[in-house]
Amino acid sequence: MEIRKLNLKDYEQIKNLSKKNGLPFLKENDWKNIWEKNPFILEQQKDWIIGWKLLDQNDQIVGAIHNIPFIFYFDNNKFLAAICGNWVVDNRYKSFSLGLRSKFLNQDNIQLYITNTANEISEKVMEAFKAKKILQYEYINRKIFLLNKKKTIINYIKKISLNKNLILDIKSLIDIMFNRKNLNITKKFSIANDFNLDFDLLNSDLRKKKTLYSIKNKKWLDWKYSRVINTDRLWVIKNYNGNKLVGFLAFVINNEQNYKLKKSTITEFSFLDENNFENFEMVKKCILISKEFNCDVVDVIGFNKFKKNIFKEIGFTDKKMSNFSFLVKNLSPEIEDVLFNSQNNLDMSLTDGDAIFSL
Amino acid sequence: MKIEETIEQSIHEFNKSQNKYKIINNENFELIGQNSLLDSLAIVSFFSVLEDKILSNHGIKRDLMKEVFIQQDEMIDLKKITLILKNN
């Protein structure tokens, strides 16, 4: 058995291995674009290792892990993060899976190691390698807004209860059935299916904030959303004050296989001024567009307490996730407190890890 | 207390903690390798028990995940674990 660097030419074998082990896998171009179009690799580190593969005696790939560079900012300082994904090992070779995870978690010059799609096993393995769950207000609670209440409730009840607690279930259902919110908006937003250069300026302003966030300039957003950009699956609601972009909300429309629902997932929600009532209206606009596209549900994972309260006020309800999927191994003391000791400020979401590639 | 006794105690405690996997106290027992029957979670759990036992029996805090995987060995059996613990 041997662990070697993964190569873009390994696509077919990795795809087959992943599918054999029940993992969804990207189309070839989408998979290659994760690294071929990544701004950090293109501009700074062309020899970035895209992942590792486990080879058996016949040189066949029997395990793999992806390694994706992300840039984060906090207080105008830049941090290089490695995001892991697609950790898969054939059952026969399962004891070797930790070797792959160890390769990922022991690279040079990486400040943050992140996964935000951890299942119960990878959660425990990451913790064994000294990664920790982020401390973020109610990260475990997904927020949902039902557009097709009847269909969604029937499908949820068929599958599993909303919470694993009967009283909370009943409360959630009552909230959902009788919580009618006013979705009127006064602001005329600019709506697009892509990102323009105004995001570069917005990102420069966001950088100065004491919030840890993954970079939001045009080239990084273009890369992150390359699978859905300029399609009616990606919607970007832009809030301008005059000619200046002061906030935006992005969401991705997708089909939820588990519950057979058409879902819109809010992946980005950033703004410069917390007190601007238009932040509420961006969420309402997202609901209205989702309704136009016959989505059954709008959902959100993550975001800080302030944003979560916006969703709550608009009528989103909680759905507890089965496990805590966001873990970080941090080697930068200056962001240790932000990640693990200040639950009301941390603002992580799907866009800050590999979850963004599985929408 | 000898390190071998601490390993034996850890094996006993690990085997008692679950029914799915059984570690046999034999120096050739493979934790990681072609003949290993353990999955990642079982290995992590065993190392965690072993770290706790080393701390309580010997007063030393170890990071076994780091120490074992830095070796990059294809096969890790109980003999190698004993050597790692004795040498570092």
Half-sphere exposure of A177 (CA within 13 A, CB side): 9
Instruction: Specify whether the CB–CB gap between A189 and A238 falls below 8 A.
Output: yes
> Do the strands A261-271 and A297-300 form a parallel or antiparallel pair, or are they unpaired?
parallel
What DSSP state is assigned to residue B88?
-
- Residue B67 to chain A, least CA–CA distance (Å): 11
**Chain B residue with Cα closest to A126:** B44
State pLDDT tens for residues B18-73.
Answer: 989 999 999 999 999 988 989 999 999 999 999 999 999 999 999 999 888 887 78
| Confidence at residue A358, expressed as pLDDT on a 0 to 100 scale | 81
| Confidence at residue A169, expressed as pLDDT on a 0 to 100 scale | 61
From chain A residues 66-125, the ones with a CB under 8 A of any chain B CB are 93-99, 101-102, 106, 121, 124-125
Distance in angstroms (rounded) separating the CA atoms of residues A84 and A69:
9
Domain A141-320, CATH: 3.40.630.30
Provide CB contacts within 8 A for A344, sequence distance 6+. A137, A304, A305
- The predicted complex's ipTM stands at 0.86
- Residue B32 to chain A, least CA–CA distance (Å): 5
- Residue A293 to chain B, least CA–CA distance (Å): 43
Q: How far is CA A312 from CA A144, A208, A316, in A?
A: 9, 28, 5
| Confidence at residue B50, expressed as pLDDT on a 0 to 100 scale | 96
Angle between helices B40-58 and B3-17 (to 10 degrees): 130
The two domains A2-133 and A141-320 share their CATH topology (first three levels equal): yes
**Domain A2-133 architecture:** 3-Layer(aba) Sandwich (3.40)
Domain positions in chain A are: 2-133, 141-320
- Partner-chain contact A130 B63, CB within 8 Å: yes
> For each of chain A's 359 residues, which pLDDT tens digit applies?
889 999 999 999 999 999 998 888 999 999 999 999 999 999 998 899 999 999 998 999 999 999 999 999 999 999 999 999 889 999 888 889 999 999 999 999 999 999 988 888 888 999 999 999 998 888 888 899 988 877 666 666 655 545 555 666 666 666 666 666 788 899 999 999 999 999 999 999 999 888 899 999 999 999 999 999 999 999 999 999 999 999 999 999 998 877 788 999 999 999 999 989 999 999 999 999 999 999 999 999 999 999 999 999 999 988 887 777 889 999 999 999 999 998 877 999 989 998 888 88
